């Protein structure tokens, strides 16, 4: 199985995926690995063009200014146009469920990603389209320094959940999964 992953394999969740998914053929794309800044539309399209050769695409990069959602749009449209039934896994955040006043755009970006993933995931259930799964995590261990008062989830554990999604049984589709480390 061939898996395309946005992100730097030497950092965070991408690093854990590089270890947990070692039996698969992996390609990581980032500013570091391919000199592709995925916040630029032309590079999002280049990534989408690459995606047609893969069985699974993991959108792992924590892109800002809604670029993770725009990258999903580019990848999904390219795969659909090519008639591919590729599994697209988007990494979200459980902060998308926060219901408090804030001027932090990250929450809204992750809400947009969640909404778009949910819409696209249903198209893969009812037609031979790419399948889209959103997996949202609470604070991961690579962000412990930003949130020293929180209990975090090890990135390897998060990567194990992603591997579980990849190996979902035939005949079903996991649309969404939300996982938080307990704080009590």
Name the token pair of 52.
């047609």
| Average pLDDT for 26-51 | 94
Average pLDDT along the chain = 91
Residue 138 has pLDDT above 90, yes or no: no
Helix spans in the chain (H): 12-20, 31-34, 41-51, 67-81, 105-126, 155-166
| CA proximity to 2, closest of 49, 54, 52, 59 | 54
Range from 65-74, 134-143, 150-159, 175-184 carrying the lowest mean pLDDT: 134-143
Whole-number Å distance between alpha carbons of 106 and 137: 14
Residue 18 has pLDDT above 90, yes or no: yes
Q: In the structure, what pLDDT confidence band is assigned to residue 129 with cuts at 50, 70 and 90?
A: very high
| CA proximity to 10, closest of 60, 48, 69, 65 | 60
pLDDT at 144 (0 to 100): 67
pLDDT at 99 (0 to 100): 67
**pLDDT tens, residue by residue, 78-96:** 999 999 999 999 999 887 7
More confident residue, 27 or 99: 27
Residue 184 has pLDDT above 80, yes or no: yes
Percent of the chain with pLDDT over 70: 98
């Amino acid at each position: 199985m061939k898996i395309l992953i946005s992100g730097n394999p030497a950092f965070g969740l991408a690093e854990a995926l590089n270890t947990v998914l070692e039996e698969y053929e992996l390609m990581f794309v980032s500013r570091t690995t391919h000199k592709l800044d995925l916040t630029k539309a032309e590079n999002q399209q280049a990534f989408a063009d690459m995606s047609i050769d893969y069985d699974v695409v993991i959108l792992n990069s924590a892109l800002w200014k809604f670029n993770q959602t725009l990258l999903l749009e580019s990848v999904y449209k390219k795969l659909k146009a090519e008639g591919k039934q590729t599994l697209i896994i988007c990494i979200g955040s459980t902060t998308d469920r926060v219901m408090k006043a804030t001027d932090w755009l990250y929450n809204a970006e992750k809400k947009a990603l969640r909404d778009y993933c949910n819409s696209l995931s249903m198209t893969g259930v009812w037609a031979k389209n790419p399948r889209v799964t959103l997996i949202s995590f609470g604070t991961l261990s690579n962000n412990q320094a930003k949130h020293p008062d929180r209990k975090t989830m090890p990135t390897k554990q998060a990567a194990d959940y992603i591997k579980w999604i990849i190996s979902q049984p035939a005949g079903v589709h996991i649309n969404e999964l939300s996982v938080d480390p307990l704080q009590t």
